[in-house]
Amino acid sequence: MNVPDVCAAQPANGERVRTVVAAAGSLTVVTAGQSCELTGLHSLDDRGRLLLRVPDDGALAAEITLAPRGVVGAVLKFTDIAPAAVRDRVRARVTLTGWLAPAGGEAREPGVALRLDFAHAELETAAGTATVGLDELTLSSADPLAAYEADMLTHLVDGHSDVVALLTRLAEPRLVQGVRRVLPVSLDRYGLTLRLEHTHTHHDVRLPFTTPLSDAAQAGGRIQELLAAARACCRRHGSPSRP
């Protein structure tokens, strides 16, 4: 069971979708004719449009070439997985629905450039499933930590387990009682989330920053603020085992 701290500041759904897509290393493309896995072949342009570059001799490029008007209905699926080896590592699933068509423009790289003409997005998290429309997605941007979160969390786990344990002082004491392991499960511009694992359940505890950060360079300072608050905390409870 995962009980999230819903009171702390959280990314909006549109921002969450943008972040998952920007950080994902791979995706699944499903059309009427096929389902294929693509790794390292998608990007978001300055206007937030999803672009794919696929092999020109591949089945997906052939399907679009043969399709009427060169447009194919498609579903693109992304899975957001926690960098740390926590229990239940899937943090979110994003499904984009729309039409794939040639992107046009000058060919600067090998392969065929495709764009997704967006219809709607679906975001699935532990809190439920939400639909994100075009307007919301257009007005959103990816979290500034999207490209750095995995390295930052891995660094915390591998080199600073004492820091992670100290931060549990900011959680409600009742949640820490009986905890077997604590790991950082997510980091975004609004705060850090710890996963407190018990024998059969787990809880996510949100540690919000005093103010949202605007770029990745501010992350270290925000973590130090949390540590200062943890050291000053007057609560006394048993320390969980280190990861």
20 occurs within a structural domain? yes
Most confident of the ranges 7-16, 22-31, 51-60: 22-31
Whole-angstrom distance, CA of residue 9 vs CA of residue 209:
9
CATH number of the domain that residue 202 is part of: 3.20.180.10
Domain count, the chain: 2
238 occurs within a structural domain? no
Domain end among 121, 139, 157: 139
123-173 pLDDT tens trace: 999 889 999 998 898 888 899 999 999 999 999 999 888 899 999 999 988
Asked whether residue 52 falls in the same domain as residue 76, the answer is yes
- Please check the confidence at residue 6 and state whether its pLDDT lies above 90: no
Asked whether residue 14 falls in the same domain as residue 129, the answer is yes
Asked whether residue 172 falls in the same domain as residue 102, the answer is no
* Local confidence band at 29 (pLDDT 50, 70, 90 cut-offs): very high
State residue 151's pLDDT score: 95
Q: Which amino acid makes up residue 40?
A: G
167 occurs within a structural domain? yes
Asked whether residue 127 falls in the same domain as residue 212, the answer is no
Residue 69 DSSP class: G
Distances (CA, A) of 47 to 25, 123, 138: 20, 20, 8
Count other Cβ atoms within 10 Å, centred on residue 45.
10
Residue entry with tokens 């270290």: 220
240 occurs within a structural domain? no
Both structure tokens of 155: 């660094």
Count other Cβ atoms within 10 Å, centred on residue 135.
9
Question: Going by C-beta distance under 8 Å and a sequence separation of 6 or more, which residues neighbour residue 210?
Answer: 222, 225
From the CA atom positions of the chain, what is the Rg in Å?
Answer: 20
CATH number of the domain that residue 55 is part of: 2.30.110.10
Q: Which domain holds residue 207?
A: 149-232
Asked whether residue 44 falls in the same domain as residue 121, the answer is yes
Whole-angstrom distance, CA of residue 192 vs CA of residue 103:
37
State residue 238's pLDDT score: 44
Helix (H, G, I), strand (E, B) or coil at 205: strand
42-58 pLDDT tens trace: 987 766 678 998 988 88
68 occurs within a structural domain? yes
Asked whether residue 62 falls in the same domain as residue 97, the answer is yes
Asked whether residue 97 falls in the same domain as residue 206, the answer is no
Cβ(66)–Cβ(175) under 8 Å?
A: no
Asked whether residue 153 falls in the same domain as residue 224, the answer is yes
Asked whether residue 111 falls in the same domain as residue 12, the answer is yes
242 occurs within a structural domain? no
Bridge partners (DSSP) of residue 77 are 28, 95
Whole-angstrom distance, CA of residue 55 vs CA of residue 65:
13
166 occurs within a structural domain? yes
Asked whether residue 9 falls in the same domain as residue 104, the answer is yes
State residue 17's pLDDT score: 95
Domain end among 90, 112, 139: 139
Provide mean pLDDT across the span 197-222. Answer: 93
Domain end among 139, 160, 187: 139
State residue 105's pLDDT score: 65
Asked whether residue 99 falls in the same domain as residue 176, the answer is no
Q: Which amino acid makes up residue 79?
A: T
Whole-angstrom distance, CA of residue 205 vs CA of residue 185:
10
Asked whether residue 130 falls in the same domain as residue 153, the answer is no
18 occurs within a structural domain? yes
